[in-house]
Every structure is written in structure tokens, then in C-alpha cells.
Structure 1
Amino acid sequence: MGMLRGFGVDIGGSGIKGGLVDLEAGALDGERLRIDTPQPSTPDSVADVVAKIVEKFDWKGPIGVTLPCVVKRGVAHTAANVDHGWIGTDAAGLFAERLGRAPEDILVLNDADAAGIAEMRFGSGVDRDGLVVLLTFGTGIGSALFLDGKLVPNTEFGHLEVDGHDAEKRAAASVKEDKGLTWAEWAPRVSRYVSVLENLIWPDLVIAGGGVSKKAEKWLPLLDVRTEVVAAALKNDAGIVGAAVAAARQSAH
């Protein structure tokens, strides 16, 4: 009765969390470990924390790692809420070296893409064909795009220009906090943003993720948009789960 297990690490601006994942249930297998993101969050200092987490679980298999960055072939090309030293860094190579692993045992991907993979496999995107977009509302807005269940990686829809502004500067969850907006005041900003996105890509489903997805009943009913919008199901563990799934998939090929 060997459970299919994987391992995921989710790197954010404030915390780095990792844990074992039950790949059949799409859930954490036991407790996750969270360590504050070092400041400054340079590649080397973050790699040290990732190594500490992996060693704590004594995990020897493939590892998926998320970054709040555009990631192509293991290299970070942007840096949101992490040190700008990540830009141009071969993250997959760095982690492989730091963990003493073969490069093919490490998969590095964008954090929203990882969350999206988990939602499509185990959450609100299960059995949904067509064009599905996951939007994570947090400090900024992250996005993950799927066509018939297949990821189109590294979309940066949080940075669409909406009414002359970077969308996430108007509609991220952090804006609601910073400006002390009620749900009723914040929801029209989200509606306006989603409307612009709808007119560009005409999605069949929008999955709303990020911390505010826990309070979905407070704001989803207030949205005035064309597309069906549903709350993400996996909440804060989606990044870890999706990273583990993606890494297991890569190593199986």
C-alpha cells in the first residue's frame, strides 16, 4: 500500500513553506513546515531555507518549487515580492546544487501556475474544459491559464492596464487592506478588472484564489461580470500541492 507521494515548496515574499504531498488525494500528507522568508530574500539565502525544509522531511524524491516569478526552463525572469537578484538566476540549477540533486529532480515554476495545477487536478477546475483562468488575489494578482486542462505558463494578467493603472495596483487584496475598503467597495474594482480580462481572452471559467477566497461568500456575489466565477478549493496549500504534482509529472517522463 505505497501511497504516491511528492514534495512541494512554496516561496513567497513573507514565508517559505513546504511539505509532503499525497499525490492521489491532492492534499498535504502531515504537517507543513513554514519558515519566514529571509530578508533580503536573495537566491542564496532562500536556497538555504529550502534546503532546511527538505532536510527536515528527509525527502529523497523529486521536488517542485514555486517562485513569485516568471520562470522559463528553470530560470527566473521577473521578481515580485522577492529580491531582484532572482532575475536571470538559474533557480533550478541553484536548488539542485544546494540540495545535491540531479537537475531533472527539481522543477521550478511560477507560484500562480502551481496553484492552478492543483485547482485543475483536485479543486474547482476538475473536469472543466475550455479556457479556465485562476486569479490569485493577494499582495498583487497572479494568474494561471489553462486550455482544456493544459497549462499555458507564465501569464502575467495581474499587470494588465486597467483605466490607466496596473490592474493589481487597483484590485489586489492588499489594496482593500491598505485603503480600508469594505467588500462592497472593493468588489467593483475586481469586476472592472475581470471585465477587461474577459474582453481580451473570453474565459469559460474564472477561479478566484488567494487569501480572500476563504471569504468568497462576501464578495463573489457582488461581482458584475459575464463569466462564471468560483472560489478556489485548496486555499493556502495549492502552491505546495501543485508544485509536487508538476515535479512528479516531470520525473515520470
Structure 2
Amino acid sequence: MLTLGIDCGGSGIKGSVLDAEGEMVAERIRIKTPYPLPPERFVRTLKRIANKMPEFDRVTVGMPGMIRNGRVIRTPHYPTVGGPYTPKDPGLVEAWRNWDAQSILSTAFDRPTRVLNDAEVQGAAVIQREGLEVMFTLGTGLGCAVYNDGRLAPHLEMSHAPIRKDATYDTWIGIHKLRELGPRKWSKRMLEVVEGLRPVFLWDHLYVGGGNARRLTEFLGDDVTIVPNVAGIIGGVRAWDLEIGD
């Protein structure tokens, strides 16, 4: 069984074909996320990746935002006029609202397709299925996924929760703040976030991944593991085995 895993972010969309063990059997392809990005262009972009890949049997797509039963309830970046932190286009907001990504992509690929939040797919690659495990992804913003004994909990959009009077987690530790502060000061801020959320989740283990995890310079704790960003693709295999909580 070969799986096409596609990891969709605010700045880049990456993909590769994986064998049953989650090993890549094709070179990873990355395409810069195009904007403006109506759903139809999103589908074409994913098919560009698929067309450069060897044959596959099924598809896993991880994308940012609230994805529920394969439908896009809300996605933060794609309805903007020019990418993350640019104004929203009302027409694109409406086009993405309740978009049935899983059904439409299944038809486009002519393969069984599973669509989940990108942090949920990344977490599927690394969790041990023991106790309460949490996945944070550090990319354009903050992604989050929670698992209890391997069972995926309902999604939380932590990125849009307030952390200060005038800041959300996205604006507090997102990529713009990393560029503004530099890795050392940004890492200290990330340590404060982890220490602040530890008593909220009471996780048994926290995994931190995403494209910016490699920029961390602070030790986050014995209960924290930094994982490579490629997990966003290779989780595409184990994502099919996830039990999803109500």
C-alpha cells in the first residue's frame, strides 16, 4: 500500500509517496503556496505534486485550520489576498467555508483520500499511543493536536486563543515573531508558552515539530521531544489508523 502524503502550510506545500512503513519512496517535492488561493487552485496545486510522483494507492492531506469530518470549517491563511498576515478576501472566506475537501480531493485524485488538520497528521507520525500526548507545530503559527492512548481528540484551534490582551498564540510565537525577535529570544518565549500550557493539558508527553522547531535553542523539558518537520508527510500512513474521538 503506497500513500501520497501532502503537508499543506501557509508558505509551502510538500509531498512524497510513502511505503507501508512510512518510508519515502520518492523525493520530497515542495511548492510555494500560491496566493490568492481559492479551493480550485488549491486542488490544482496538490495535483501538480501528485503528477510528479510514482503511482500511489491513497492520499493523506494535512492542512491548517479547523478540519472536521474532512470539511474545512475554518482555515486561516488560504482565504487571504496575499498569504499569512494579509487581509482576508470576503469571497475567499465564503469559498473555503464548509468546503468538502475530503470528498472533492478524493474525486480529483481518484483515490481514497483522508483530510485532517496538519498538526494531527504530524502527530500521527510520532505518538507512542500511550497516555495523553500533545503535538505542537511551529510554522506560520501554532498548530495543535491531542491524543489519548492514540485516539485523536476533537481539534482545538489553539493558534487563535489569546495569550495576551492584544496577542494570540499565532501572533505571539508565529513566524513573524521569530523573524522579529531572532531565535534566542523567540525560544525563551516558546519556553514560557510550554510552561504555561503544561498545567492546562497535563500531558504525558509533548512533541514539538513544524518548520521552525529546529530554530529552538531552549531545553523545553524532559517531557518534550523535538521532531523533524518531515513528520508532516510521513504521518500520512499512520493517519489512516487513527481513531477519531467524538
Class of the TM-score when normalised by the shorter of the 2 chains: 0.7 to 0.9
Distance 2:45 2:187 in 1: 37
Identity across aligned pairs (percent)?
30
Decide whether aligned partners of structure 1 residues 248 and 205 sit closer, same or farther in structure 2, where only a CA change above 3 A counts: closer
Partner of 2:229, secondary structure, is helix
Q: Are positions 1:152 and 2:153 aligned together? A: yes
Task: Give 1:132's aligned amino acid.
Answer: E
Query: What is aligned with 2:237?
Result: 244
Query: What is aligned with 2:82?
Result: none
Greater Cα shift, 138-147 or 236-245: 236-245
Distance 1:80 1:145 in 2: 20
Query: What RMSD, in angstroms, separates the aligned Cα atoms of the two structures?
Result: 2.3
Q: Is the 8 A contact 2:4 2:56 kept in 1?
A: no
Task: Give 2:142's aligned amino acid.
Answer: I
Decide whether aligned partners of structure 1 residues 229 and 23 sit closer, same or farther in structure 2, where only a CA change above 3 A counts: same
Q: Is the 8 A contact 1:70 1:79 kept in 2?
A: yes
Decide whether aligned partners of structure 1 residues 247 and 132 sit closer, same or farther in structure 2, where only a CA change above 3 A counts: closer
Task: Give 2:117's aligned amino acid.
Answer: N
Partner of 1:57, secondary structure, is coil
Greater Cα shift, 199-208 or 168-177: 168-177
Q: CA deviation at 1:209?
A: 1.0
Partner of 2:57, secondary structure, is coil
Query: What is aligned with 2:36?
Result: 40
Task: Select the residue among 123, 137, 143 that pairs with 1:116.
Answer: 123
Q: Give 1:158-197 correspondences, 5 Å limit.
A: 158-164=159-165, 165-177=167-179, 179-183=180-184, 185-197=185-197
Query: What is aligned with 2:20?
Result: 23
Q: CA deviation at 1:154?
A: 1.8
Query: Structure 2 unaligned runs (5+)?
Result: 80-92
Decide whether aligned partners of structure 1 residues 193 and 47 sit closer, same or farther in structure 2, where only a CA change above 3 A counts: same
What is the TM-score of this pair, normalised by structure 1? Answer: 0.80
Q: CA deviation at 1:27?
A: 2.7
Q: CA deviation at 1:211?
A: 2.2
Q: CA deviation at 1:241?
A: 1.4
Decide whether aligned partners of structure 1 residues 214 and 27 sit closer, same or farther in structure 2, where only a CA change above 3 A counts: farther
Q: Are positions 1:207 and 2:217 aligned together? A: no
Partner of 2:177, secondary structure, is helix
Decide whether aligned partners of structure 1 residues 60 and 248 sit closer, same or farther in structure 2, where only a CA change above 3 A counts: farther
Distance 1:193 1:50 in 2: 33
Deviations 1:100-158 (A, max 9, x none): 34xxx1111100100000112xxxxx3x6221111111210001111112221422223
Q: Is the 8 A contact 1:63 1:247 kept in 2?
A: no
Q: Give 1:75-94 correspondences, 5 Å limit.
A: 75-83=71-79, 84=93, 85-94=95-104
Q: CA deviation at 1:249?
A: 7.0
Decide whether aligned partners of structure 1 residues 53 and 166 sit closer, same or farther in structure 2, where only a CA change above 3 A counts: same
**Higher helix content, 1 or 2:** 1
